[in-house]
């Protein structure tokens, strides 16, 4: 993949854990995608993305992405 952009960082507080999400926009060119944090990768349309069950911390990033693209 090649990084083609970046969205705004988002901090989220789950109470016992605080996280800083740093979202990047990437373009897939070719080859295998080696996952380190997830068990599978899937491609979705924007409409499908909006219908998925997102973690609370991810919702602000999804909103930024759907608004910008």
Question: What pLDDT score does 9 carry?
Answer: 96
- Size of the chain, expressed as the number of residues it contains: 69
Which pLDDT score, from 0 to 100, does residue 33 have? Answer: 86
DSSP assignment string, 11-68: EEE-SS-EEEE--EEEE--SS----SS-S------HHHHHHS---GGGHHHHHHHHHH
Report pTM: 0.78
Per-residue model confidence as pLDDT tens digits over 39-59: 998 999 999 999 999 999 999
């Amino acid at each position: 993949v090649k990084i083609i952009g970046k969205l705004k960082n988002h901090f989220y507080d789950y109470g016992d854990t605080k996280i800083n999400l740093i979202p990047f926009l990437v373009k897939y060119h070719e080859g295998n995608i080696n996952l380190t944090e997830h068990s599978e990768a899937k491609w979705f349309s924007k409409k499908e993305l909006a219908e998925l069950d997102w973690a609370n911390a991810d919702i602000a990033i999804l909103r930024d992405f759907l608004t910008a693209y």
